[in-house]
Amino acid sequence: MSNIKFDLEIKFGTKYGKEEEEAVLRVLRNNAPTSGDACIEFEKNYAAYCGTTHARVVSNGSNALFLSMIAIGIKPGDHVITTPITWIATAAAPATLGAKVDFADVDLDTYNIDPKQIEEKITSETKAVIPVHLYGQPCEMDEIMALSHKHHFAVVEDAAHAIGAEYKGRKVGGFGATGCFSFHEQKNISTLGEGGMITTNDANIFETTSLYRSQCTRVHGKSTKYCKLDEEKFPIGKKFWWQDFDDCGYNFRMTDIQAAVGIEQLKKVDALNQQRIKNADYLSWGLKDIPGLKLPTVRPYNKHVFHLYPVMVDPKEFGMTKEDLIYDMLHKFGIKLGFHYIPLHYSTAFKKRGFKKGQFPNAEKIGERLVTLPINPRQSEEALAYLVKSFKDVRS
């Protein structure tokens, strides 16, 4: 019972082992530097894993999105479209740069942004679209990329939930201008509670994200445009460098101790995701005959990595509202269900920006009916069976 309680209380997240412990100690004994060799190795391995030419590690997923907006050149007044069903970081990235955020409604089977709804929102001022591979299932990338080519906007993939997820056999993070990942404690892999990564196939975008990540510091040496001047000042053979700042930037670096853990987590990601998929299969099998529950739909060409396991509750058929279900599951069985997400246009932040209830009916239905079940790679079959049984018993 104690294991069950732990599995269900700490609802999400990853699993660490001896390898991560040893990695922490190795870096600690080496004075635990800020961004160093471990970060570089983590980036190299990450790009290889995602099949992109570059990866840049950052302090969290929010900063990955923010730096991506800077790198694609988002300016005050530009229009950026995203989904209202996401964590606020997705929309905050363009909004905090002064861009105008608009939402496009979602598909009620996958809960991902609907390309047809995107198309209706595109104007000549649209500079970017941020699709979120929600709960671990890839968005309709062929349709979104076709719109991007037709209307000349950048696509920034929010892949915070979706490391290892595949669309038609290709990993997410390599379709758009950038892919943005989060290693927050609740994600499929973590780097000690916080962390993020930007993937890209574009050398210029990579350079800009790298610069702004680290105060736009540029160290000039022999191979730079300042080289000639240096050589005039100093005879060849003497080492000389100077530092300049291209612009005012940020410190969004990750530490080496986190990256060392990330390297070990990345080696395990496929096995961790496989365990999630197995747990999701168990839940789908266990819950399938309960009336009034809509279980996850996985498109046949997608690999869904089940960062979350979403269930829509029809209050009439199931006999309970979402709120009553959340309350009773906690108080009768000690199980914490989640609600991902309250539509962003209900928030004060976006009401202030002119949004109103009634604008995105599918997102609103999710807000009213969707719960997320505990899912993580630590769950025992006993914990999953208890979860299924509690769902069956909760109405009695």
Ligand X SMILES: Cc1ncc(COP(=O)(O)O)c(C=O)c1O
DSSP label at residue 253 = P
Structure tokens at 168: 């038609």
- In the Cβ-directed half-sphere of 163, how many Cα atoms lie within 13 Å? 32
Sign of the alpha-carbon dihedral angle for 76, 215, 182, 335 = negative
Amino acid, single-letter form, for residue 292 = G
Considering the rule CB under 6 A, would residue 57 count as an interface residue with ligand X? no
Considering the rule CB under 6 A, would residue 61 count as an interface residue with ligand X? yes
The nearest distance, CB 65 to ligand X, in angstroms, is 6
Angle, helices 381-393 vs 322-333, to 10°: value is: 120
The residue (of 136 and 174) whose beta carbon lies closer to ligand X is 136
How far is residue 10's CA from residue 3's CA, in Å, rounded to a whole number? 11
How far is residue 50's CA from residue 179's CA, in Å, rounded to a whole number? 10
Q: What backbone torsions phi and psi does residue 167 show, to the nearest 5 degrees?
A: -115, 115
How far is residue 61's CA from residue 78's CA, in Å, rounded to a whole number? 22
Helices (H) and strands (E) in the chain, counts: 15, 15
The residue (of 94 and 196) whose beta carbon lies closer to ligand X is 196
Which residue in 43, 114, 157, 158 binds ligand X (CB under 6 A)?
A: 158
The residue (of 83 and 214) whose beta carbon lies closer to ligand X is 83
Residue of minimal Cβ distance to ligand X: 61
The nearest distance, CB 63 to ligand X, in angstroms, is 7
How far is residue 161's CA from residue 318's CA, in Å, rounded to a whole number? 28
The nearest distance, CB 119 to ligand X, in angstroms, is 22
Structure tokens at 151: 């209307």
Q: Which of residues 192-251 bind ligand X (CB under 6 A)?
A: 196
Considering the rule CB under 6 A, would residue 60 count as an interface residue with ligand X? yes
The nearest distance, CB 93 to ligand X, in angstroms, is 8
The nearest distance, CB 196 to ligand X, in angstroms, is 5
Of 178, 133, 135, 185, the residue nearest 159 (C-alpha): 133
How far is residue 175's CA from residue 108's CA, in Å, rounded to a whole number? 23
Instruction: Choose the binding region for ligand X from 20-28, 82-90, 330-338, 366-374 (rule: CB under 6 A).
Output: 82-90
The nearest distance, CB 190 to ligand X, in angstroms, is 10
CA distances (Å), origin 318, targets 129, 186, 210:
36, 29, 50
The nearest distance, CB 194 to ligand X, in angstroms, is 6
Considering the rule CB under 6 A, would residue 86 count as an interface residue with ligand X? yes
Structure tokens at 19: 């390898």
Instruction: Choose the binding region for ligand X from 54-62, 217-225, 297-305, 319-327 (rule: CB under 6 A).
Output: 54-62
Which residue in 79, 161, 276, 304 binds ligand X (CB under 6 A)?
A: 161
Considering the rule CB under 6 A, would residue 62 count as an interface residue with ligand X? yes
How far is residue 17's CA from residue 321's CA, in Å, rounded to a whole number? 39
The residue (of 61 and 173) whose beta carbon lies closer to ligand X is 61
Relative to beta strand 242-245, strand 196-200 is unpaired
How far is residue 388's CA from residue 396's CA, in Å, rounded to a whole number? 14
Considering the rule CB under 6 A, would residue 184 count as an interface residue with ligand X? yes
The nearest distance, CB 186 to ligand X, in angstroms, is 7
Sign of the alpha-carbon dihedral angle for 383, 385, 389, 394 = positive
Considering the rule CB under 6 A, would residue 182 count as an interface residue with ligand X? yes
Considering the rule CB under 6 A, would residue 132 count as an interface residue with ligand X? yes
Considering the rule CB under 6 A, would residue 258 count as an interface residue with ligand X? no
Which residue in 52, 82, 83, 90 binds ligand X (CB under 6 A)?
A: 90
The nearest distance, CB 369 to ligand X, in angstroms, is 20
Considering the rule CB under 6 A, would residue 160 count as an interface residue with ligand X? yes
The residue (of 87 and 346) whose beta carbon lies closer to ligand X is 87
The footprint of ligand X (CB under 6 A) covers 60-62, 86-87, 89-90, 132, 158, 160-161, 182, 184, 196
